[in-house]
Amino acid sequence: MAEEQDVKTRAERWPSGDADVKAFQKSGVELLIRFYVLNKIAKIHDAKNDAFLEHGRLLYGSLERILAAEDEGACLRIRHSSLLLNGVRLKSHLGTYPIFKSVMEEMRLRELDAVAFKPGLTLEELFRFMPVFARRDKKEGSIFARLQADIDAADTPHVVLEKASELKTPSNLNRNTARIFFLSIVHLKESFRRNQSDEGIKVHTTRRLMQSIYNHIVDNESFVFGLTNIKNHDEYTLNHSVNVCLLATALGRRLGLNRGELVDLGIAAFFHDLGKLETPLEILNKPDKLDAGEREIMEQHPFKGAEKLVLLKESRRLPLRAIHVAMEHHIKEDLSGYPRYYDKADINLFSKIVKVVDFFDAITTKRVYRTKVFTRSEALSLMLEQAATEFNPVILKAFINLMGAFPIGSLVLLNTGEIAIVFDLNPDPKLVLRPTVKLITDTAANKIDGETADLSEKDPATGRFARTIVEPLNPAEYGIEISDYFLAQAQ
């Protein structure tokens, strides 16, 4: 099956315009959700299970409606990190995002670009197809070839699979992502230097960089989150600013900001601590508590940062919100913090987003003045306690939802005695405590280059989960550089 079979022009298909397109997209999202649910059920239950049969009928109902209207069938396709149904892009929002992500991941795992259901599809055929599709395949070699053979054997002539045409290996992808991460630091360092020597910051370059970062977040979100575990203590502000930029962009994307807004948010987060250039290093790095005078200087940095951005030679190219964020990222939800605004309504949404991720990255980073470095889970727990006063509660909740109970990069102890690092979240909201982890020790505490294990996998013999997280560990206490394990994936 090639792509030409599933696309008509918009005008051909929907002569009456946008309302029809939106209705089709709605049907498409419904189809996607039902496909997602049935796939989940098929992984756990066999084809005779009541839940499987019930949700199979629901999916078939959705397909029937689409097949009745579309001569060419219903073709679900991944194109450049978007999901398309018959050539029409399906749009996710905050609620459906994990479903989109999961379906795309399931297709990628099977080396698929497209799954098409053709007219003539029967319910029985769908019942035969889904268990084959849902089956886990960890054997070496082409997953697609085996899946295609199984599908052929299952006699499902009205389901057509298309092999992924674009070849990309995770290591290439990870390497490129890591490269963008370090380039961001180089660019930020260069921008800071330019600013100090009164030269113009290359905002245009920053904008292009943000677009690239967005692309990597879309393509490789888990690895990007992994990279935010890189904590460079000497160049704290640079490293921290890049982490905040990545996390803010990811959170903004989850909140439904559009591409233009996400680039602006990224730029704003990137430069949010520009004012620290004016703060003496002996204050920034003072191990003891700051005295009143030092605190006053420290608390000037948002104001100074905003001032610097205003005075930039290229300020015209800078989103105004970057100035807001520089100024407002330490203002608390209850208007305490600094600086002291008089009107809560003046605080920009971007500042509230950056406030959350800035806090998270800061308290998970070792600093000379910080007696305790929080683990990522502890950090989220602490933030949760301060939800009402410190953060916008809903944005914080969205962030916790994005990061998961065990954020990527968390060091965890498993009930098997193995120690592991969380590498990916479980997209199923009901299985948030069962992420995918990389095993870094065996059961006898020996370091290993272990496999990547999905903690939602069950032992077929017992029907129980094979591994379970017992507790999060603090990597600082074990001298473990979490970021090394991610960077190793990029080599």
Partner 1 sequence: MGTPRPVDETASRQADGLVLADREVVRKAEDILTCMANAVSAMKLFPSDHATVRNFVDILSAKFDDFFMTYARLEVGIGEYAFTCGGKVVYTDETTLKSLPFFFFKDGAQILYFYRGLDRSELVEFLELIKNVAQKPGGDNDIVAALWESDFSNIQYYSPDEFIENQILDQKREVQAGQGPQDSAAEKQEGQADLDLPELPSDLSHEALELKVDLARLSHGRIELKQEDMAKFHWQPGAEGGQALPAPSGRGPGPEPSGGPEASSGLTATPVATINSNLTEAEVRELDEMVQSNRALWPEEEFVKMTAEVVYLEADLAGCAASIDILVEFYLEQIGQGQFPAAGMIISKVRDLKSHTETESAGKSALLESCLKKMLGPKSLEAVAAHLAASNAVDWKALFGFFKLLGPSALPIVASFFDTQRDQAVQEQALAFIREAGRDNPGLIARLANDSRPILSREVIRILMGLPGQKGISHLSAFLMFKNRDLKLELIHALGDLRDEMSNKILMGFLNDPDEELRIQAAMKLNPTEEKARIVHVVNEASGPAFRNKSLKEKQAILSFLGRTRSAEALAFLTAVLGRTTFFPSAKNTEMRLAAVAGLKNMATPEATAALESGTQGKGRKVRDACAEALARLASGPGGQA
- 146-185: contacts with partner 1 (CB under 8 A): 165-168, 173, 175-176, 178-180, 182-183, 185
Nearer to partner 1, 126 or 365 (CB): 365
User: Which one-letter DSSP state was computed for residue 300?
Assistant: T
Phi-psi region of 17 (alpha: psi -120 to 50; beta: other; left: phi over 0): left
CB 479 within 8 A of CB 458: no
- What is the Cα–Cα distance from 122 to 119, expressed in whole angstroms? 9
Instruction: Rule CB under 8 A: choose which of 82, 102, 148, 386 binds partner 1.
Output: 82
> Which among 3, 125, 119 has a CA at the least distance from the CA of 72?
119
* DSSP element (H, E) containing 187: helix 170-196
Nearer to partner 1, 60 or 321 (CB): 321
Give, as ranges, the residues between 322 and 341 that touch partner 1 (CB under 8 A).
323-324, 327, 339-341
Residues facing residue 117 across a β-bridge = 74, 159
Residue with tokens 């999905």: 454
Contacting partner 1 within 257-286 (CB under 8 A): 257-261, 263
479: left (phi over 0), alpha (psi -120 to 50) or beta: left
Choices 64-72, 103-111, 136-144, 348-356; region in contact with partner 1 by CB under 8 A: 348-356
Smallest gap from residue 314 Cβ to partner 1 (A) = 8
For partner 1, the binding residues in 19-78 under the rule CB under 8 A are none
At 132, phi and psi to the nearest 5?
Answer: -70, -45
* Nearest CB to partner 1, comparing residues 258 and 336: 258
In a 3-state reduction of DSSP, which class is residue 442? coil
Q: With beta carbons less than 8 A apart as the criterion, state whether 214 and 249 touch.
A: yes
Contact characters 231-250, partner 1, x per CB under 8 A: -xxxx--xx-----------
Cβ at position 387, least distance to partner 1 in Å: 10
CB of 355 to partner 1, least distance (A): 14
Q: Site map for partner 1, 184-203, x if CB under 8 A? A: -xxx-xx--x--------x-
Is position 478 an interface residue for partner 1 (rule: CB under 8 A)?
A: yes
* Least separation in angstroms between CB 227 and partner 1: 11
Q: Cα–Cα distance between 106 and 93 in angstroms, integer?
A: 19
- CB nearer partner 1, residue 109 or residue 448: 448
Of 153 and 311, nearer to partner 1 (C-beta) is: 311
Whole-angstrom distance between the N-terminal and C-terminal Cα of the chain?
35
> Which of 108, 286, 317, 332 is the binder for partner 1 (CB under 8 A)?
317
Structure tokens at 230: 């890189």
Residues in 412-471 that interact with partner 1 by CB under 8 A: 413, 415-417, 419, 429-434, 440-441, 443, 445-449, 458-459, 462, 464-471
- Write the DSSP symbol of residue 465: B
Task: Kindly tell me which residue out of 22, 346, 388, 452 binds partner 1, with binding defined by CB under 8 A.
Answer: 346
For residue 7, give both structure tokens: 């696309």
* CB of 84 or CB of 132, closer to partner 1: 84
Token match 């910051």: residue?
201
